[in-house]
Structure 1
């Protein structure tokens, strides 16, 4: 008895804008561009057909051993729409779209990827030098490549989960532990809690925590598509209705789809807490978010603080085989601020740093906070604010808490 394999495939839809009109009205050019792109992406081409419409416009269809690819060109608007579907793992439809966009000299590309068929998908997340972990994604709820990152929302053993560029950002099971560790210490360290600025943190949980604590919140995120996808598909954070209100500036939270660096240059100062919650800092020179971890960015954040205000950031992992980012962040914070508080979550893998310009002994008293955390109590605050020895040893003498 023969065994029937599990069918699966990827279906990529793409909008390519800013293409020279004469290229979009050239059937032979488009035929060869599509043939070359899918071939270099690993597909086997059976045939390619092209048809030119009057007065202008071209459709090209490639029949593939793996399925199909097509391009519909609109010279009058300088745009083309691509559709690439491949079965199995040999061909890469996302690569085919990127190669096609390059051949057309495209100014901007917007893609959406859907996974067709049955069977769970394995997502491999790098977690350190020579190390990775594999997530079984039982169902993909949303996936696209925005202008800034690859975003996937799907069901895992930890519930609905968010991945950006193949890195887990949050899961339904553990997100509150993460977000309270991010938000509660800086809210306690700040002298007052009237205005909060959050940079990143697409899910919206951090904004809701700050608003529940009584603050007015400015939430800045460069990736509009990711924030809206989180509101639509995640069972935590913003609801679509809450996000729509925040986009209008209606309520305690206002959402700004802007670059965090630029926002700091023209915002009204006087924030009591500034929170930086971004994907992990890495050694990829093309990763635009890395500049939002450096000493200059910390200085820009500190410049918009009110007296007694606090800057806080997700700072990396304390495990000794993965602590380079944390040690670097600790050095930056202790050089930039007179008071630095470490908080290492005892039920998560991440550590967080909060800095206040004024020197002094931190006084973290939960009873003074209007927000009531579910994953942090007074004992946790006492036990989790001591940095690991290697981290403490990396700072200049007498700096940090």
Structure 2
């Protein structure tokens, strides 16, 4: 039993059932709390408690909960439930709930108004208000439920398996593991896929984070869309690395004719297709895709038509991957680029890996007259702030105008979560400490 909650998690759900009770149980299931023993409490949140995403708790846990529910057996009727959490500037909290035979907007408005009234009655300012709701159109027996789960260390301490990456000898990154999904030692590396509470499923290679369901789009959209929109008309694309398929999936949003993906470790692709399919989203089965299981140096030495855009989704320069950050490698890259052609690579953390940034840029500069660095943010990568380096053959890598980017972006009807034409241009504005690295 939790006596002093430290965290609040908001959730909601709706469902049908054979009768009202079963509909309620099914609605709890969609909200992710069906296997908990909910202890209904009133509306006060301890000062300093934090709003966090809902976690998975041991089955049968006794959990204080503020919730509201509504059931109906009138076909076609709309029902809704909402819970609102208000917080003051000094961290005091009040939760209010409301359920209605009407739309979710009505339930949300009343719950929010009740929070405002509670704060006014206590004479404390309302700093922020968070609302969650569920709306359901009844078929036979329907239910909508909304809840605020209050929990603390009693539950948190039971979830104690962690996966850790050493970013530097003095800095580490850890995530709490929900379940270990896959582990294999391939001829090249140790492959792990784990399900985590904060970022969903994650791919780790040799104890290093490669990608996660929770933030992969932030990395892949910046790695891919920036060079693809920099090139005037990309048709043939080469991806080196990227066995999770995220870069491949992102490239396929563009009207290309063919994309070749060169990955040395077929076991990474096999594991990600089976255990991390949301990242590639079926991209490996696209008829425009040609998979090549080969060392990048060997492939680039072979005779084939040049490429318009090359995406280097490569690991950090450790061990054999050091070769991918050398002038020798970029000599081969240059030789395989069409004119005009664009190449982009990930180039590490400016905060914790400045040597990687410098190594990547200097290797490019050995063969390209102009190298541009741009920035993104990837929470699971060292220090979050991430750099990319881009160069071109046959023309200067000037940042396209916002109008041109917007027109091409709209023409493709892209649905992105990080990249926008405005962010494309802003990404090339570098803080002085990064510009100093490059000068």
> In 2, distance between residues paired with 1:330 and 1:297?
12
- 2:181 paired residue number: 141
> In 1, distance between residues paired with 2:283 and 2:310?
21
Q: Which runs of 5+ in 1 are unaligned?
A: 1-117, 397-401
- 2:50 paired residue number: none
> In 1, distance between residues paired with 2:355 and 2:324?
17
- Tell me, what secondary structure is at the counterpart of 1:336? coil
Matched, 1:219 2:251: no
Question: Which is worse superposed, 194-203 or 324-333?
Answer: 324-333
- 1:259 paired residue number: 295
- 2:418 paired residue number: 375
- 1:207 paired residue number: 248
Larger radius of gyration: 2
> In 2, distance between residues paired with 1:252 and 1:120?
44
- Tell me, what secondary structure is at the counterpart of 1:214? coil
Give the C-alpha shift of residue 238 in structure 1: 3.1
> In 2, distance between residues paired with 1:304 and 1:154?
37
Give the C-alpha shift of residue 371 in structure 1: 6.5
> In 2, distance between residues paired with 1:322 and 1:381?
23
- 2:228 paired residue number: 187
Q: TM-score, normalising length from structure 1?
A: 0.62
Matched, 1:170 2:206: no
- 2:40 paired residue number: none
> In 2, distance between residues paired with 1:318 and 1:267?
36
- 1:336 paired residue number: 367
Give the C-alpha shift of residue 141 in structure 1: 0.7
Q: Is the 8 A contact 1:188 1:366 kept in 2?
A: no
Matched, 1:363 2:399: yes
**2:356 pairs with 325, 345, 355, which one?**
325
Q: Is the 8 A contact 2:354 2:437 kept in 1?
A: no
Matched, 1:160 2:196: no
> Which contiguous aligned blocks of 4+ residues in structure 1 show a shift greater than 6 angstroms?
none
**1:291 pairs with 316, 323, 326, which one?**
323
**1:345 pairs with 361, 376, 397, which one?**
376
> In 2, distance between residues paired with 1:303 and 1:129?
38
Q: How many residues align?
A: 268
- 2:279 paired residue number: 237
> In 2, distance between residues paired with 1:220 and 1:301?
13
- Tell me, what secondary structure is at the counterpart of 1:196? strand
Matched, 1:196 2:232: no
Q: Is the 8 A contact 1:191 1:309 kept in 2?
A: no
Q: Is the 8 A contact 1:209 1:371 kept in 2?
A: no
Question: Which is worse superposed, 344-353 or 138-147?
Answer: 344-353
- Tell me, what secondary structure is at the counterpart of 2:191? strand
> In 1, distance between residues paired with 2:407 and 2:389?
21
Q: TM-score, normalising length from structure 2?
A: 0.57
Give the C-alpha shift of residue 227 in structure 1: 0.7
Q: Is the 8 A contact 1:342 1:353 kept in 2?
A: yes
> In 2, distance between residues paired with 1:356 and 1:341?
9
Q: Is the 8 A contact 1:120 1:139 kept in 2?
A: no
Give the C-alpha shift of residue 322 in structure 1: 3.0
> In 2, distance between residues paired with 1:259 and 1:371?
35
Q: Is the 8 A contact 1:182 1:312 kept in 2?
A: yes
> In 1, distance between residues paired with 2:299 and 2:413?
27
Seen in structure 2, the aligned counterparts of structure 1 residues 393 and 242 have a Cα distance that, compared at 3 Å, is closer
Q: Is the 8 A contact 2:216 2:279 kept in 1?
A: no
Q: Output one character per residue of 1:258-317: Cα deviation in whole Å (capped at 9) or x when no partner.
A: 1111011114132011111122123xxxx2222112111111011111111011111001
- Tell me, what secondary structure is at the counterpart of 1:126? strand
> In 1, distance between residues paired with 2:194 and 2:438?
40
> In 2, distance between residues paired with 1:183 and 1:315?
14
Seen in structure 2, the aligned counterparts of structure 1 residues 260 and 163 have a Cα distance that, compared at 3 Å, is same
> In 2, distance between residues paired with 1:304 and 1:395?
26
Task: Report the RMSD for the aligned CA atoms in angstroms.
Answer: 2.1
Q: Is the 8 A contact 1:318 1:344 kept in 2?
A: no
- Tell me, what secondary structure is at the counterpart of 2:181? strand
Give the C-alpha shift of residue 138 in structure 1: 1.9
Q: Output one character per residue of 1:47-85: Cα deviation in whole Å (capped at 9) or x when no partner.
A: xxxxxxxxxxxxxxxxxxxxxxxxxxxxxxxxxxxxxxx
